[in-house]
Amino acid sequence: MRAFSYEKAASPADAAAAAAKHPEAKFIAGGTNLLDLMKLQIETPAHLIDVNGVGLDKIEPTSEGGLRIGALVRNTALAADERVRRDYAVLSRALLAGASGQLRNRATTAGNLLQRTRCPYFYDTAQPCNKRQPGSGCSAIGGFSRQLAVVGVSDACIATHPSDMAVAMRVLDATVETVKADRSTRSIPVGELHRLPGKAPDLDTILDKGELITAVTLPKPVGGTQIYRKVRDRASYAFALISVAAIVQRDGSARIALGGVAPKPWRVGKAETEIGRGAKAATDALLADARPTHDNAFKLPLVERTLGAVLTQARG
Amino acid sequence: MKFDKPATNNPIDRQQVVGRPHDRIDGPRKVTGTARYAYEQHDVVPNQAYGYVVGAGIAKGRIASIDYETARKAPGVLAVVTAKEAGNLKKGKRNTAPLLAGPEVGHYHQAVALVVAESFEQARAAASLIKIDYAAAKGAFDLKAAKDKAAKPEGDDPSLDDTHVGDFAAAFARAEVKLDETYTTPDESHAMMEPHATLAAWEGEKLTLWTSNQMVAWGVTDMATTLGIPKENIRIVSPFIGGGFGGKLFLRADVLLAALGARLAKRPVKVALTRPLMINNTTHRPATIQRIRLGATKEGKLTAIGHESWSGDLKGGGPELAVQQTRLLYAGANRMTAMRLAELDLPEGNAMRAPGEAPGLMALEMAMDEMAEKLALDPVAFRLLNDTQVDPEKPERPFSMRRLDECFRIGAERFGWSRRPARPGQTRDGNWLVGFGVAAAFRNNLVMKSGARVSLDAGGVVTIETDMTDIGTGSYTIIGQTAAEMLGVGLDKVVVKLGDSAFPVSAGSGGQWGGNSSTAGVYAACVKLREAVAQKLGINSDEAVFADGEVRAGNRSLPLASAAEGGPLTGEDTIEYGDLDETHQQSTFGAHFVEVGVDVATAETRIRRMLAVCAAGRILNPKTARSQVIGAMTMGAGAALMEELAVDKRRGFFVNHDLAGYEVPVHADIPHQEVVFLDETDPMSSPMKAKGVGELGICGVGAAVANAIYNATGVRVRDYPITLDKLLTRMPDAA
């Protein structure tokens, strides 16, 4: 771990000011991912801004009839919130499918969105990795890639985004609110938060340096049957091989987002217009540009079969 | 004590203490954090510094240059050890690769340097400042690609030989029903909770090592060889071990580097291996490719049994003994086995819980299931039909005790085996396809020389000292129970001291020989102490009965403690064995029954229940023995369903080198487990009449799971682990 300086911010404005002063700073909240990465010297911030004391830990109704989830709301609290369980069940289910009870107690809403890939080569500093060390190459392409992405990938990176929560937020059309170091604020649809790797896989999101997520807002509830189906080798405490977040309405229309297949929560508009034609048609649209490896080609039929099961369950 | 005749009645048969499900006597210390593991020995010596190991970033080649000037000057750094500072090191006979690389690199994450600093964090930070340029060389990392070049293993160990009985080729050729299939098992990691860790302290020429090691005496010998110093100058202390599974049988880099670091820094130094180093720096269970050929009559009598296995290891290493159970498990007049070893440049392969049998039975017992289906026989009936009471290779040599048939019958009854769907892929429970699987468990019982010292003080307290280790198995408890039984006292009057090379040399923990052998050693020492007590009390030791804290003979009855009034009495002895394990085949047996559900859409397999029925001689403590077996069943479930070290065949290392990537079962994967022990005593094994049980539990589990998956889905997967991707496209229609 590289030596770093540390400060505790008292408010979001305070945190923004600190970020303006220390361009190489990182925010730390739950620390469930960042601390591991610092110990491994994958993340080497010179300065840490602890945002645990800035508030932002409430879940409040919005004037539009939705919910505003503070950035510091812990995953456990979010999953257990009565309104979330009632109106956004897919989110509660996705949260509970992730990590462990202990981690969810610590992990925050914003931190969950910003967690980094679990590609094993990213974690081994002796191996080339364009995400960790731009320009060094991608060891995963042609290497062990069973867990990795099949769509949205580039020649530089095939890492997945590991979050379950983010997949549910994508299907719920959530919006991310931020404050920048210059104290300006913006709203970003969650589908635009994460970048595809292209030639710069080191950049996971479109956030600027020092830009702090303050909240995630959920629009007015859309009802429907909400399902989060996570497929994995062991029954708990494993990242998704693939996951399906679905909101299926009585008229048969549905929203679908996938986890474990792409560098970001994966949602394709055309798939939702195809849904009436069944799981195969929807999968074809979702994974139209898939470039699987030998190791992870199974994810294509797995998505189709899982989506089929989810639709059957929803229409039960 | 020489054990060379079958055991007759002895005090252990009373089973007042032995054979009872006592809680672990070390349990309170473990749950209160007062059982000190190696890295927690904070107060045994002052002024401890911390070492951090740097592992090689290539699999094969040499270190072209290494620059640690910046690291050496980093805050808190006391010393940097590389091959240069280490000087002339030899290799202990149990290590395949040197524990410290340089300039040659023999495998990925082989240690290249140790940074010693005032704090762990400083050592770790400084380690990242070391600049190493490697000249990488091409290596062989793919067992399948190297298979054709694999050779007969070298060495005089007869277990490495090809075996031939009768005329296998002819019998197989003319068999009415045949099977010829190839099965694969992957490299696996021990993945024990406690990392390899050592605190080393020098006092002049004397070196003390507080470490985590299953085999204390082996560690002393190999360390003396490695450093070129007399054995007498080394003391190893290893009282508590947070799991070993064979991964801590031998000296590893933490021990050597802690000693070298302490010598250079002139301070006690502690070193723990990080999780990635545990996987690529230390040993693993090697992958196998196994070809099995079975031939039988139409009625189901096996006439030909052939088992070949290919595995790989570094040059100078050995094969996975995956065929050994096939020589003994089933009758059949014509048989052959062979092992071939490929030279690979992956990290060192070696023993992991039930080496040989664990992967061997995953193949053999799947083949038996397939053969039963070809014969249209129930898999249990087929196995019973080919049961044997004698060594099939040497029919004049009987098993000391073999009740495999009862394991199957009792298990089948208890499990409700008769409800197994005869046709695969037919039973649905909601989204689950449900299936039953069965497999035999088989593991040889090894007897090992083992010593102990037992003393009695004036307070009536019995203290046992032996270098035996407790790797979570319950050694403390069964050793205490043995002494309590022999001396007629309660467990509360017994103090057990383990894991110190200052104590008599024991069998150590490995190969499931520890429980029976170490308690037999304690038995022998207790016999000596009983004689001393009897003599002191003026009682004929043949007549003396030790019970309830008293020694009785005829109508005399004296307090045991009174024998030590004039000073403590001590008995010390070593159990040694005659040829009973040669005249008789000593093995342990079991039957595993498993029910699985396979998700009809995703092909995820989830175990629904497991049952093991075991026959392993006297069960010294049914509670700790059950814990051993359920733990082993869990490990077997992992091997069947998820455990696989993923080899990067270009770069030559195990990629998933942490517990996020190398998945082992979690609680949610393991629902109902039941263990039944047959009530038996085997007089051929030792005066304890016990046999090993710690490895038996893993043997065959993987195949039982695999067979259940087949029964559920109708899809046969012969490459472990049976992950959903191997089933998915062959699954029956979801409708």
Tokens of B380: 């249990």
| Interface mutation target, options A2, A244, A302, A313, chain B, most CBs of B under 10 Å | A302
Contact predicate B695/B353, CB 8 Å: yes
C-beta atoms of A298 and B124 within 8 A: no
Stretch 231-270 of chain A: residues touching chain B, C-beta under 8 Å: 231-239, 241
Assess if residue B734 is contained within a domain: no
Q: Which helix (H) or strand (E) holds B30?
A: helix B27-31
Q: So what's the ipTM on this one?
A: 0.97
Contact predicate B515/B477, CB 8 Å: no
C-beta atoms of B602 and A234 within 8 A: no
Same domain, yes or no: B363 and B294? yes
pLDDT confidence tier of residue B155, bands split at 50, 70 and 90: confident
Tokens of A191: 């589908």
Same domain, yes or no: B476 and B340? no
Q: What integer pLDDT is reported at residue A23 of this predicted model? A: 83
Assess if residue B32 is contained within a domain: no
C-beta atoms of B669 and A142 within 8 A: no
For residue A126, the chain B residue with the least C-alpha distance is B57
C-beta atoms of B657 and A233 within 8 A: no
CA dihedral A115, A121, A126, A130 (to 10 degrees): -70
Contact predicate B116/B267, CB 8 Å: yes
Average pLDDT over residues B617-640: 98
Contact predicate A166/A242, CB 8 Å: no
Average pLDDT over residues B94-109: 97
Tokens of B675: 């263990």
Beta bridge partners of B713: none
Q: Single out the catalytic residue among B194, B365, B595, B695.
A: B695
C-beta atoms of A239 and B660 within 8 A: yes
pLDDT digits (tens, 9 = 90+) for B198-229: 999 999 999 999 999 999 999 999 999 999 99
Same domain, yes or no: B110 and B253? yes
- Reference B612, options B384, B442, B473, B441; nearest CA is B441
Assess if residue B297 is contained within a domain: yes
DSSP state of B619: -
Distance from CA of B429 to the nearest CA of A (A): 15
What residue numbers bound the domain in which B518 lies? 448-576
C-beta atoms of B657 and A120 within 8 A: yes
Residue A240 to residues A99, A154, A301, B711, Cα–Cα distance (Å) = 10, 21, 15, 27
Q: What integer pLDDT is reported at residue A2 of this predicted model? A: 86
Task: Quote the number of domains for chain B.
Answer: 3
Same domain, yes or no: B422 and B473? no
pLDDT digits (tens, 9 = 90+) for B442-481: 999 999 999 999 999 999 999 999 999 999 999 999 999 9
Q: What integer pLDDT is reported at residue B733 of this predicted model? A: 78
Of A118, A239, A301, the CB nearest to B728: A301
The answer to whether residue A121 neighbours chain B at the CB level (below 8 Å) is: yes
A/B interface, count of CB pairs below 8 Å: 97
Chain-centre distance for alpha carbon B106: 25
Assess if residue B218 is contained within a domain: yes
Supply the mean pLDDT for chain B.
Answer: 97
Which residues are within 8 A (CB) of A206 and not within 5 positions of it... i.e. 6 or more apart? Answer: A188, A192, A193, A194, A195
pLDDT value at B734 more than 70: no
Query: Which burial class, exposed, middle or buried, applies to B178 when counting CB atoms under 10 A from its CB (0-12, 13-18, 19+)?
Result: middle
Q: CA B420 to CA B711: how far, in whole Å?
A: 8
Tokens of B353: 């819980």
Assess if residue B88 is contained within a domain: yes
Neighbours of B586 (CB within 10 A): 23
Contact predicate B363/B288, CB 8 Å: yes
Q: CA B403 to CA B413: how far, in whole Å?
A: 16
Same domain, yes or no: B199 and B119? yes
Same domain, yes or no: B231 and B111? yes
Domain boundary, last residue among B551, B576, B601? B576
Residue A14 to residues A11, A48, A109, A179, B228, Cα–Cα distance (Å) = 5, 13, 20, 11, 61
The answer to whether residue B660 neighbours chain A at the CB level (below 8 Å) is: yes
Q: CA B283 to CA B353: how far, in whole Å?
A: 12
DSSP state of A196: P
| Interface mutation target, options B120, B648, B658, chain A, most CBs of A under 10 Å | B648
Q: CA B257 to CA B41: how far, in whole Å?
A: 17
Per-residue pLDDT 10s for chain A (316 aa) are 888 999 999 999 899 889 999 988 999 999 999 999 999 999 999 999 999 999 999 999 999 999 999 999 999 999 999 999 999 999 999 999 999 999 999 999 999 999 999 999 999 999 999 999 999 999 999 999 999 999 999 999 999 999 999 999 999 999 999 999 899 999 999 999 999 999 999 999 999 999 999 999 999 999 999 999 999 999 999 999 999 999 999 999 999 999 999 999 999 999 999 999 999 999 999 999 999 999 999 999 999 999 999 999 998 7
Assess if residue B390 is contained within a domain: yes
C-beta atoms of B724 and A233 within 8 A: yes
C-beta atoms of A235 and B655 within 8 A: no
pLDDT digits (tens, 9 = 90+) for B493-545: 999 999 999 999 999 999 999 999 999 999 999 999 999 999 999 999 889 99
Same domain, yes or no: B528 and B569? yes
Instruction: Please confirm, yes or no, whether B695 is among the known catalytic residues.
Output: yes
CATH of the domain at B486: 3.30.365.10
pLDDT digits (tens, 9 = 90+) for B232-273: 999 999 999 999 999 999 999 999 999 999 999 999 999 999
Same domain, yes or no: B413 and B498? no
Same domain, yes or no: B199 and B312? no
Q: What integer pLDDT is reported at residue B422 of this predicted model? A: 87
Q: Which residues from chain B sit within 8 angstroms of residue A233, using beta carbons?
A: 604, 641-642, 663, 721, 723-724
Assess if residue B185 is contained within a domain: no
Cis peptide before B158 (omega within 30 of 0): no
For residue B664, the chain A residue with the least C-alpha distance is A234
Domain boundary, last residue among B522, B557, B576? B576
Same domain, yes or no: B514 and B528? yes
Same domain, yes or no: B407 and B475? no
- Reference B58, options B116, B102, B114, B124; nearest CA is B102
Tokens of B390: 């004698």
Contact predicate B251/B226, CB 8 Å: yes
| Interface mutation target, options A4, A33, A122, A124, chain B, most CBs of B under 10 Å | A124
Q: What integer pLDDT is reported at residue B735 of this predicted model? A: 53
For residue B659, the chain A residue with the least C-alpha distance is A238
pLDDT digits (tens, 9 = 90+) for B71-83: 999 999 999 999 9
Domain boundary, last residue among B259, B281, B303? B281
What is the longest distance spanned by two Cα atoms in chain B?
83
Q: What integer pLDDT is reported at residue A316 of this predicted model? A: 79
Chain-centre distance for alpha carbon B271: 24
Q: CA B273 to CA B479: how far, in whole Å?
A: 31
Assess if residue B155 is contained within a domain: no
Q: Which residues from chain A sit within 8 angstroms of residue B725, using beta carbons?
A: 146, 298, 302
Contact predicate B482/B518, CB 8 Å: no
Residue B358 phi, psi (nearest 5): -60, -55
- Reference B443, options B317, B351, B507; nearest CA is B351
Same domain, yes or no: B546 and B673? no
